[in-house]
A and B are shown apart, each in its own frame.
Chain A
C-alpha cells in the first residue's frame, strides 16, 4: 500500500508539473484589448495576475476618458474647445500629465534651448492632418506656410495654466490645444506596472501600443526596423525591470503628392512647425519611467543625433533617473547611449 501511495504521489507530481507547463504555454498570449486608441497586450505571471489585469484595464479606460482628444466630455476635449480664460475642471490624471509635461518641457528648454517635446502642438498636428481624426496615409500636399505660422502662434505650454488646488486648467490664448499623445501611454505603462507590483505579480510584459514595461526577468525586446526591408527588426536587446519606448518617422506619416521623397510624419518641431527633419528616424529610450521615455523618444527625433547624445548625457543622474538610448539615422547608422545588451533576433 505504501508503494502504491508513493507511486501515486510521484505520478500526481509529474502530472501537475506537466500541466502547469502546458497551462503557462497556453496562457503566454496574456490579455489583448484596445484602449487609449491603441492595442494593448499584457502578459503577467504570479498569483495576483487576474486582479492586476482587471485593474489595469479599468485604469486604461479611466485615463482614456480623461485625456482622449476625441472622446466628448474628456478633460482634453473640453479644454481644447473651451474659450480662453475659462477654467476647465479636470481630473487627477490630467493634472499629473500636465505638470509632468511642464517638468519635461522646462528640462528640455534648459538643456536644449527649446521644447523638443511639447504637448501643446495639437493645432499644428491637426493642420498637418496627422491627428487620429484627420490622418490618412494617402499622399497629399503639405499645409501652406502662412497656415503653419498661424498654428505655430497657438503653440507653447505656457499658453496654459493649471490650478492644482481648484483642479482646473485654463488656456490663455484662444485656439490653443493640448494633446498628451506623446506621454500618456508611457504614464499608463507606469501605472500598469504599479498595479501589477501591488498585486504581487512577479514577472511579465506590459505593452501599451509600443510603450513597454518589463517586469521581473530579462526579456528580449525587438526594435522595429524603421524602413521597409525584409527583416522586420533592426536589432533586439535583453532588458529587465525597465521601460522601453520607440518613436519613429514611420509610425504615422504620408508622402508629398508632388514629391514622393518628402515624408511628413507625426513628430513636429516647435521651431519650424514642420515634421522634424534632424536626421533621426527611430529613437528608442530605456529607463525606469515610461512617461519620460515616451517624451524623450519624441524629443530625440526632433533633436538629431548630436543634441540627443548631449541631452542623454546631461539628463543622466538628474531627478534620480537614468536613461539609455538606441538611435537610428536616415542612413541606418546606429548610436547607443549607455550599456545595452544586444540579443540575437534572426
Chain B
C-alpha cells in the first residue's frame, strides 16, 4: 500500500513507528532531566566508603552521624561540628562549597563531598 493508501486507510503511523517514537521520547526526556535538573550542587556523605546521605547544598540542615560527627549545611557551604574523633582535624576544616571539594574525617572514615559541575577533575 502506498503512502496515500495508508493515509486513506487511517494507518499514517504504524505500530512500529509509534513504539520507536515512544522510546525516543522517553530516552530524550531522561537525558534532558539528567542534564538540567541537578543543576544545584549536592552534598554526599560517605561512611566507610558507602554513600549514606545525599543532601542539597542549598537547603540548610544538620545531619547528626551518631558517634561520629555533625554535618552542617549552612548558607551554601558544608562543615563539621562536634566531631568525636581524637584528632578533630575535620572540625577545623574550612567550610567547603565548590563541587569536587571534600572534608574527610579519617579516624571516623567519613567523607563529605560536594557534588556538581566541578571546575577541576581532582584535588591534590
Interface residues of A (CB under 8 A from B): 4, 7-8, 11, 14-15, 18-19, 21-22, 25-26, 29, 31-34, 37-39, 41, 132, 135-138, 205, 207, 210, 212, 214, 219-224, 228, 232-233, 236, 244-246, 252, 284, 343-346
Interface residues of B (CB under 8 A from A): 14, 16-17, 20, 23-24, 27-28, 30-31, 34, 46, 48-49, 51, 86-89, 91-92, 94, 96, 98, 100-101, 104, 106-107, 109, 111, 115, 119-124
Contacts of B46 in A (CB 8 A): 32
Q: A34 is contacted by which of B14, B20, B49, B123 (Cβ under 8 Å)?
A: B49
Contacting pair A11 B34 (CB below 8 A): no
Contacts of B100 in A (CB 8 A): 222
Contacts of A25 in B (CB 8 A): 34
With A18-B27, A19-B27: A212-B122 Cβ-Cβ less than 8 Å: yes
Tell me, rounded to whole Å, the shortest Cβ–Cβ distance linking B60 to chain A.
20
Q: A283–B16 Cα gap in the complex (Å)? A: 62
Contacts of A8 in B (CB 8 A): 16, 20
Contacting pair A236 B111 (CB below 8 A): no
Q: A307–B94 Cα gap in the complex (Å)? A: 32
Contacts of A29 in B (CB 8 A): 115
Q: A246–B124 Cα gap in the complex (Å)? A: 6
Contacts of B98 in A (CB 8 A): 232
Contacts of B104 in A (CB 8 A): 39
Tell me, rounded to whole Å, the shortest Cβ–Cβ distance linking B90 to chain A.
9
Contacting pair A205 B20 (CB below 8 A): no
Contacts of A207 in B (CB 8 A): 122
Contacting pair A232 B94 (CB below 8 A): yes
Contacts of B30 in A (CB 8 A): 18, 22
Contacts of A39 in B (CB 8 A): 104, 106, 111
Contacting pair B106 A37 (CB below 8 A): yes
Q: A220–B98 Cα gap in the complex (Å)? A: 15
Tell me, rounded to whole Å, the shortest Cβ–Cβ distance linking B3 to chain A.
10
With A39-B106, A232-B98: A210-B49 Cβ-Cβ less than 8 Å: no
Q: A207–B102 Cα gap in the complex (Å)? A: 13
Contacts of A38 in B (CB 8 A): 106
Contacts of A210 in B (CB 8 A): 123-124
Contacts of A346 in B (CB 8 A): 119
Residue of A nearest to B115 (CB): A29
Tell me, rounded to whole Å, the shortest Cβ–Cβ distance linking B112 to chain A.
11
Residue of B nearest to A285 (CB): B124
Tell me, rounded to whole Å, the shortest Cβ–Cβ distance linking B38 to chain A.
10
Residue of A nearest to B96 (CB): A232
Contacting pair A135 B123 (CB below 8 A): no
List, sorted by A's number, 23 A–B pairs whose CB atoms are closer than 8 Å.
Answer: A4-B17, A11-B20, A14-B27, A18-B30, A18-B31, A21-B31, A33-B49, A34-B106, A39-B106, A41-B122, A135-B86, A137-B91, A138-B88, A207-B122, A220-B121, A221-B124, A222-B100, A222-B122, A223-B123, A232-B98, A246-B124, A252-B89, A343-B120
Q: B88 is contacted by which of A18, A26, A136, A244 (Cβ under 8 Å)?
A: A136
With A15-B23, A22-B34, A222-B100: A32-B87 Cβ-Cβ less than 8 Å: no
Tell me, rounded to whole Å, the shortest Cβ–Cβ distance linking A222 to chain B.
4
Contacts of A345 in B (CB 8 A): 119-120
Residue of B nearest to A247 (CB): B124
Q: B24 is contacted by which of A15, A31, A37, A137 (Cβ under 8 Å)?
A: A15
Query: Other than the known A8-B20, A137-B91, what 10 A-B pairs have Cβ atoms closer than 8 Å?
Result: A4-B16, A18-B28, A18-B30, A32-B46, A34-B109, A38-B106, A221-B123, A222-B124, A232-B94, A245-B124
Contacting pair A222 B120 (CB below 8 A): yes
Q: A22 is contacted by which of B31, B48, B119 (Cβ under 8 Å)?
A: B31
Contacts of B17 in A (CB 8 A): 4, 7
Contacting pair A224 B124 (CB below 8 A): yes
Residue of B nearest to A35 (CB): B49
